[in-house]
Structure 1
Amino acid sequence: MKPSNAGIYSRFLKRPMDFLLSLMAIIVASPTLLVVALLVRVKLGSPVLFKQQRPGLNEKIFMMYKFRTMTDARDENGNLLSDSVRLTKFGKFLRSTSVDELPELFNILRGDMSIVGPRPQLVRDMVFMTPEQRERHSVLPGLTGWAQVNGRNYITWEEKLHLDLQYVSNITFVGDWKIIFMTVAKVFKRDGISAVGMDTAEDFGIYLLRERKISKAQFSAAMEHSKRLMNC
């Protein structure tokens, strides 16, 4: 993984800023965190937190935390029902307001993530990326990022990854704060939460398969590779 275009800010100041801002945000948001945790427990059950492995800096796998937004509803064979069925009205509210993302503040505090950076995608998304696209992992993933304020899930995967690479190549203090303020505006407008016609974001591999950019054999091989990465 090649290093990003790192200046003084990204090398020495970005991490301390992340730590201080995430700590302050956790303290200020603690009443909200407690109330939401209680509501999730009552409305969606336990566990309150949704934990999932994601690729971080230099593709090191870490555990990302979010508030759960789906039930564990299953069919008669014990298989989980579709996302559209398990995503409740309350879960949709948490996603549309981005409240479900608040536990990621603890990931930032720990150093797994940054406030601004490419969003941490699924491990199974990473294995479908080209070597160039995977350069997005040369920096810490972010709670928000350049792609999130420029379309989020309303843009194609290729556009999203291109915007991530634009950010990686030009990380600045002013640029980060611009993204933070744009994110606040996006949250209030509730823009780009999911892809058009879908309740949740589409996996990169599913998108490539649907667009016939990869074969079923390539899809299956990549999925098996992602499983091995998560079990390492």
Structure 2
Amino acid sequence: MKRVVDFVVSLCGILALFSIISIVAFLVKIKLGSPVLFKQQRPGKDGIPFYVYKFRTMNSKKDSMGNLLPDHLRLTPFGQFLRKFSLDELPQLFNVLKGDISLVGPRPLLMEYLDLYTPEQAKRHKVRPGITGWAQVNGRNAISWEEKFKLDVWYVENQSFWLDMKILFLTVRKVFKSEGINQNGHVTMEKFRGSADKSM
């Protein structure tokens, strides 16, 4: 049932938002150049990798050694605007349509984190990842990794149709309030380096 809802809603969303998606793609091309999409491999259900798609929010400026500058120096005001209203996430509707992810589920993180999870934290991969999730509506990037993983596991163990509906409703409200976008002191979430308590 969840997969049917994901397919129908993502298809309707793509059709309804096609003009907005096209406009954002055009503006990214003009302001940030090519490629328009940010593509990165992430772990899906059971840790199986897939490619997630987002609109670019950062430029490609490098230092004198040819290394990319830190995130806070590459994130443009235009990119901040896209993130504030989650417009950079729109291409993920195509990921939902393909079945890579769900509308609701734990957010797909980096492949390099897989070996850092405790057995409890790894439960977040028992379901498809999502565009939004229980952790996103309860703090998003403003909470710690440990808190985020606890919320993800709680969702896995308590998921239901009505919980998904509640999360989608709260997500819309969070987007309009622009809450929890950045972690304190960072323009993006600081990298996860493993939990101090390995029994979590």
Tell me whether the two structures share a fold, i.e. TM-score over 0.5: yes
> Structure 1 residue 133 and structure 2 residue 121: aligned?
yes
> Structure 1 residue 116 and structure 2 residue 116: aligned?
no
Residue in structure 2 matched with residue 51 of structure 1 by the alignment:
39
Q: What's the TM-score, normalizing by structure 2?
A: 0.96
> Structure 1 residue 151 and structure 2 residue 144: aligned?
no
**1:132 Cα deviation (Å)?**
1.5
Residue in structure 2 matched with residue 91 of structure 1 by the alignment:
79
**1:127 Cα deviation (Å)?**
2.2
Residue in structure 2 matched with residue 101 of structure 1 by the alignment:
89
Residue in structure 2 matched with residue 226 of structure 1 by the alignment:
none
SS in 2 for 1:204: coil
Distance 2:80 2:54 in 1: 14
Distance 2:181 2:115 in 1: 24
Deviations 1:58-112 (A, max 9, x none): 0000000000000000011111001011000000111111000000000000000
Residue in structure 1 matched with residue 148 of structure 2 by the alignment:
160
Q: What's the TM-score, normalizing by structure 1?
A: 0.83
Calculate the aligned-residue CA RMSD, in Å.
1.1
**What is the identity, as a one-letter code, of the residue corresponding to 1:101?**
E
Distance 1:77 1:151 in 2: 37
SS in 2 for 1:65: strand
SS in 2 for 1:71: coil
Structure showing greater radius of gyration is 1
Deviations 1:171-223 (A, max 9, x none): 11111000000000000000000101111111111x76xxxx39xxxxxxxxx
Is there any run of 5+ residues in structure 1 with no aligned partner, and where? 1-12, 215-232
Residue in structure 1 matched with residue 184 of structure 2 by the alignment:
196
**1:125 Cα deviation (Å)?**
2.4
Distance 1:153 1:129 in 2: 18
**What is the identity, as a one-letter code, of the residue corresponding to 2:41?**
Q
Deviations 1:30-76 (A, max 9, x none): 00000000000000010000000100010000000000000000011
Residue in structure 2 matched with residue 14 of structure 1 by the alignment:
2
Q: 2:57 aligns with which of 69, 72, 96?
A: 69
Distance 2:159 2:6 in 1: 14
Runs of 4+ in 1 over 6 A off after TM superposition: none
**1:153 Cα deviation (Å)?**
0.8
Distance 2:190 2:36 in 1: 24
Distance 1:165 1:136 in 2: 5
